[in-house]
Structures are given as structure tokens and as C-alpha cells.
Copies of this chain bind each other. A is one copy, B any other.
Amino acid sequence: MSEPDGFDRFARKWLPLLEAEMRSVLAPRDAVVAQHYQMMHYHMGWVDEAFQPGVFDTGKRIRPLLCLMACAAVGGDPATALPAAAAVEILHNFSLIHDDIEDGDETRRHRPTVWKRWGMPQAINAGDGMFALAFAALLGSSARGVADSAVLAALARFTTCCVALTEGQHLDLRFEQRETVAVADYLRMIEGKTASLVAASLSIGALLGGAEAKTDDALYRFGRHIGLAFQIRDDILGIWGDPALTGKAAGNDILRRKKSLPLLYALEEPTVGQMLTDRMSKPMNESDLPEILDLLAEANARSFTEEQVRSLHQQGLAALTDALGPSALRSPLGVLADDLLRRQA
């Protein structure tokens, strides 16, 4: 799997099997409650608003691919990790359904969100159903011949990650109420919301592939670092991304006052911090962007943030090398890490 196209070949082989696994886990228990499951199918991108089958944007399925690749990388058969891969993707999608409600977002992947289409009460409950079914998926590992002790170790990692997700979301919701947020608190938030599930996906795949604790821990660190780097890269694109590629207006995150690392760093910076704070406390529109981007430039916010991404990426690759040796840098895991951080959208 060290050839350059290893990642694509891996994804082409395993993504259809992953979808089948998830469809099996999310199949209705009986006809009376079919709609409960059909709302989940809609969110997963399998059916339209009338519950008719179709092909819709499903997201990239990055987390389950990481899980399956980690299993393969430690010498396991990825088929063993399919239930776990389904579990991490179902968990991720549960969290999106609830985040959309909590944030009041009306569209996701160019379609109405579940709460917008079927109302808030049913959407909360459909999310809860997916949360439970994520655990059901992971428990399915036993039927694939995984030893009880490994299933329990995977469940422990998974559960810790679920708790961390809610802690991250708690902070995110609280931060929305504030004028500013310390950089350290922001990093704690994205650690919970993003990095913990990326790290858990890798760690669980490794556990199910039979990795030793040392390898598993190193892959967890790899995931944590690239998860953080991925989120911070997203922050950079949200301010300086090419609108033609991101599909969002230039400076989008600034005008939305979204708390992201470049902005929070600049707000803490002694020379321009106070000016920026004052400027952002007033109404803003597109014509104010050049002035604010100048202040960010004066604070070196972009170079600071890009340096964070580079550093986290390097630490991630060092952890990957610890786990699997230097050849892992050219493996699908290393290729995916590079791709995630070079993306322009």
C-alpha cells in the first residue's frame, strides 16, 4: 500500500463495504418506526426528502477510512474494523444532526437539515437514535471474531471520545456568547469537537487490528495532531481561502465573527489587539474587510496560524513514524494526512 495511489485504491475498495455496513446498522427494526430510521437515511445522504433512494452528498467519510487504514497498517484485516468504522461515521453524523439544531443551521450539504425538514423534536430524537446505533455498530465487532478484551478497549476509547465531543460542543456554544476567547480555550474546544474523534477512529482501528498499546497510543497522537491541524487549516481557509474553491465569500468567517484561531490570536496580540477588538465590536460589512485583514496582517496572524498547522503536521508525522516506521509517511495514512492539510477547500 505504499504506492502513490494507495489511498484511492483503498477508498475505492472499502467505501462500498462501509456503506453496506452502515445501511445494515441503520435498517428499521420494524415498519411502525420506519420513519425514525428514514430521517437518519436522509441525513446520511441515501434518500431524498420523500425517503426515495437517490445519490446525495454524503461527506467524505474520512473518519471511517482512517479507522480502516489504521487496522490495515498494523497488519489487521480491515474487514474486522468495518463495524467500528461504521460506528465512528454514525457517531459523527449524530453529532452533526444535533449541532445543526443547536446552531440553528437550516442547510447542510445543500439540503434542508433534519430539524428544518421534520421539526426539532423528531430531529433531536433521530440523533439520539443514531448515537445509540453507533454503539450497536461497534458491538458488532464481536461477530467479526474480535476478542472480547479488544472490543471493550475499543468501546472505552469510543465512549471517552463521545464525552469529549460533548465537552467540545459545550465550549463552542459558550464561546458564541462571548466577545473573545483565549487561544488556549479555543484549542481545548477543537480538541474535543474535532481531534478526539479523528484520534479515536485511528486508535480503534489499530486496536481491532491487534496493535500493541505503544502503536495504538502513537496512532492516537497522530490522529490528535492531524485533527487539530485539519481544523486550524479550516480556520485559515475561512478567512483567506479562495472563494472560487471554498464556495464561501472572502473573509466569510470575519464578517460572521466566527471564533477561529487567526482572529483569536490577533485579538490577544499586544500591538493591534485592542484596535481589532474595537473595530469588531462595531457593525461590519464587506467594505470593512481590507481594514480588518490589515490588522490581522500586522499581528502576523496568518503566519502564526500556518506555523501551528505545520508544527502539528510535523508532530503528527513523527507520531505516525513512531507507530509504523518511516515507510508509513508514504502509506495511505501519510498521504491522507498530507492531503487534508494541503486542501484549498
Contact = CB atoms under 8 A, between A and B. Distances in A.
Interface of A: 29, 32-33, 35-36, 98, 101-103, 120-122, 124-126, 128-129, 131-133, 135-136, 139, 142, 148-149, 151-152, 155-156, 159-160, 162-163, 165-167, 169-171, 173-174, 185, 188
B170 A33 contact: yes
Given A139-B156, A151-B152, A129 B167 contact: yes
Given A33-B167, A36-B166, A170-B36, A136 B121 contact: no
B135 A155 contact: yes
Contact of A132 (B122, B159, B173, B188): B159
Contact of A149 (B124, B148, B167): B148
A177 to B, nearest CB: 10
Contacts of A33: 167, 170-171
Given A102-B125, A152-B139, A132 B32 contact: no
Contacts of A35: 170, 174
Given A133-B163, A188-B32, A170 B125 contact: yes
Given A136-B159, A163-B29, A166-B36, A102 B129 contact: no
A101 B124 CA distance: 9
Where chain A touches its partner, the secondary structure class is: helix
20 contacts: A32-B185, A35-B174, A36-B166, A36-B170, A98-B125, A98-B128, A101-B120, A120-B120, A122-B173, A125-B170, A126-B166, A128-B169, A132-B166, A133-B163, A135-B135, A142-B152, A148-B148, A148-B149, A152-B152, A155-B155
Nearest to A164: B29
Contacts of A165: 128, 132
A170 B139 contact: no
A188 B165 CA distance: 33
Contacts of A156: 139
Contact of A122 (B125, B128, B170): B170
Contacts of A173: 121-122, 125
A166 B136 contact: no
Contacts of A101: 120-121, 124
A124 B97 CA distance: 11
A161 B162 CA distance: 19
A162 B102 contact: no
Contacts of A128: 98, 128, 131, 162, 165-166, 169
A159 B139 contact: yes
Nearest to A29: B167
Contacts of A149: 148
B124 A162 contact: no
B129 A166 contact: yes
Contacts of A124: 98, 101-102, 124
A174 B121 CA distance: 10
B170 A129 contact: yes
Nearest to A95: B128
A125 B169 contact: yes
